[in-house]
Structure 1
Amino acid sequence: MQPTVRDHALADGLRAGQAAVEEGLLRATKSDVPFITQAARELTRTAGRRLRPLLVLLAARFGDPGAPGVVPAAVVVELTHLATHYHDDVRDEAAVRRDAPRPDANWDNTVAVLTGDFLFARASHILADLGPEAVRIQAQAFRRQVTGQILETTGPCEGRDPVEHHLDVLASRTGSLTAVSGRLGALASGADPSVADALARYGERLGVASHLADEVAAPTARRPTLPVLLLAGAADPADRELHELLTGLAERAGPTERAGHADAVGHSDAVARLRTHPVLDRAREETARQADAARAALSTLPGCPARDVLESLCETVVALTAPSSCG
């Protein structure tokens, strides 16, 4: 996700920072064992948005962007993000993720899980040099991520609104790491703690909005998504029938086997119906609401080119949900 940066000095600084992050990722994923290097870099090459490192670099603009801990902090959050992808995709048994092959497509699940563990270990090693406060912040975020995974797996408790539960899950699973990106960037640059707090609030809401935008752009029932959850509470029998069709096909595919041809065609038809359903408009509204909350979190920060870019990211996320963007 690359926003338009109108300030030339900031654009040059971000390009230099992003190049340094890529070099740091290459160093961090190198092992004395060639196979581990290959496995660790497989997803690194295909995951292209680099939102979290970008947030670290932008957050550092509220302090000293050249401070020695800024680029390592950006490498840490991206390594953590990639590690969670390895674990998520094994758990989901997804064939592809954002048009890239699943990381364990070339190896069995054990190797994929251990590769994720290797990336976590590398992130922890780099993090240790950033000081105990950075370690504490990352540990809290990891606890939230694991909690979110568990809550998603167990589902909402009786009487809990499934939509509210889903948003809480996203705040923990996705928002926690984007929140850490803002906080670590501010911390590494020596920015004021109040700035770090504001950027953490911004990051969490932006992370939720970004994930919701993905759910709108590529609706599916392979795991809980807002459009499908909204269908579940619909009064129209046709909507309930579509929800049952989507979730039923996903369940029949099972966690460890691929759907048969008939089910695959049925799922494709059901998703096509979902793409034109009014619940997507409601999902777009929620995405915009989360993006607005992210923008509001920036209100206490001083005006500067970095803040302008952070605000533009909110607009970029919302634009991803436009009907023309979603096909």
Structure 2
Amino acid sequence: MTLALPEVSAGLQDRLTDGLARVEALIEERIDHDDPFIAEANVHLLRAGGKRFRPMLTILAAELGNGVNDEVVIAAAAVELTHLASLYHDDVMDEAELRRGTPTANTAYGNSTAILVGDLLFGHASALVAELGAEAVRIQAETFIRLCTGQIRDDRQAPEGEDAGAYYLRVLEDKTGVLIATSARYGAMFSGCDDDVIETMRVYGERLGMAFQLADDLIDIESSEEELGKLPGMDLREGKRTLAVSHALASTDPHDARLQELLRSDLSGDADLAEALGLLRAHPALARAREETRAVGVQAQEALVGLPDSEAKTALLALATSVTHRVS
């Protein structure tokens, strides 16, 4: 699913396209390997496609400064490799069979190889960041710590007595928000922006990343297998308490008893999962979660208020709208 940026001029679109091509070429070059099997496994998910959202954001953020240069391209490649590496691990943890309509690496090569290839890609990302200096290395290390922290907490329910929705939003700040924040931050850093703009992009990126994940949560509920490129309802099957699920479980309406029973049960069976999806799609909890997703997107836009008007700022504002309007 491509994110639309209707406000982007032909010139800016050409610069984004050219920058992404440079990033793709650099990734392909760095993850190539003498061993044909390792070389093939390294590019398995890269070749499956994807939106390249994170490197695109790095390149777009660089427009706030002096534009794309070699350091911006290296930084963009590093964040995309970090993201790809995390997908190899996520698919093992989720026991997923499809990613972007392609068999996952764990399906194609087995869990052990998928985990090791993910580790290898993390290593390649770290090697790229090392070329950018000590500050970039520190940011990458802190990003990785928060990524892992978010993933660990995502596998656990909110502690008793804690608001489930608020807990989940904090999980998303780490699990998804931090890497997108780093993507935007690097673009500003390595294009010569001052510290205030760099911090603005960090805040914007974190809010944008949260909105991105919240929209993905809704898409997982609303979309078909053909639209997703994988089975819908995987979050329900894994027992994740996304916003829509948390709101449905908090309902006191007796008519929601069956949905709540399903959401608290093992949804490994296709019939129960299909029933849960049907009930949740018709529930007001979904509309409420959609409103909250768009509110987080607005928070991302509000972070840009202090930036002077420019085509890049207009595109960043439009990007937040595109992210949150991927859901109906």
TM-score (norm 1): 0.91
Match of 1:222? 237
Match of 1:237? 254
Identity of aligned residues (%): 42
1:174-197 Cα distance to aligned partner (Å, 9 max, x none): 000000001111111111111111
Give me the whole-angstrom Cα distance separating, in 2, the residues matched to 1:320 and 1:100: 22
> Which residue among 68, 78, 82 is the counterpart of 1:80?
82
Is the CA contact (8 Å cut-off) linking 1:234 and 1:240 kept in structure 2?
no
Is the CA contact (8 Å cut-off) linking 2:207 and 2:300 kept in structure 1?
yes
Match of 2:157? 155
Match of 1:310? 316
Give me the whole-angstrom Cα distance separating, in 2, the residues matched to 1:247 and 1:123: 39
Give me the whole-angstrom Cα distance separating, in 2, the residues matched to 1:38 and 1:149: 27
1:1-327 → structure 2 map (5 Å cutoff):
1-2=2-3, 3-219=5-221, 220=233, 221-223=236-238, 224=240, 225-250=242-267, 253=268, 263-322=269-328
1:233-269 Cα distance to aligned partner (Å, 9 max, x none): 111233242132134133xx3xxxxxxxxx2122112
Q: Which amino acid counterpart does residue 237 of structure 2 have in structure 1? A: R
- SS of aligned partner of 1:130: coil
Q: Which amino acid counterpart does residue 308 of structure 2 have in structure 1? A: P
Give me the whole-angstrom Cα distance separating, in 2, the residues matched to 1:99 and 1:227: 25
Q: Which amino acid counterpart does residue 140 of structure 1 have in structure 2? A: E
The answer to which of 221-230 and 283-292 deviates more is: 221-230
Q: Which amino acid counterpart does residue 227 of structure 1 have in structure 2? A: A
Is the CA contact (8 Å cut-off) linking 2:92 and 2:115 kept in structure 1?
yes
Stretches (4+) displaced over 3 A: 97-100
Give me the whole-angstrom Cα distance separating, in 1, the residues matched to 2:27 and 2:316: 24
Q: RMSD of the alignment, in Å?
A: 1.4
Give me the whole-angstrom Cα distance separating, in 1, the residues matched to 2:7 and 2:14: 9
Which ranges in structure 2 are unaligned for 5 or more consecutive residues? 222-232
Give me the whole-angstrom Cα distance separating, in 1, the residues matched to 2:183 and 2:317: 16
Is the CA contact (8 Å cut-off) linking 2:31 and 2:42 kept in structure 1?
yes
TM-score (norm 2): 0.91
Q: Using the TM superposition, give the Cα deviation of residue 218 of structure 1 relative to its aligned residue in structure 2, in angstroms.
A: 1.7
Is the CA contact (8 Å cut-off) linking 1:90 and 1:113 kept in structure 2?
yes
Give me the whole-angstrom Cα distance separating, in 1, the residues matched to 2:22 and 2:86: 22
Q: Using the TM superposition, give the Cα deviation of residue 37 of structure 1 relative to its aligned residue in structure 2, in angstroms.
A: 1.1
Q: Which amino acid counterpart does residue 33 of structure 2 have in structure 1? A: S
Is the CA contact (8 Å cut-off) linking 1:231 and 1:240 kept in structure 2?
no
The answer to which of 93-102 and 199-208 deviates more is: 93-102
Q: Using the TM superposition, give the Cα deviation of residue 98 of structure 1 relative to its aligned residue in structure 2, in angstroms.
A: 4.7
Q: Which amino acid counterpart does residue 316 of structure 2 have in structure 1? A: L
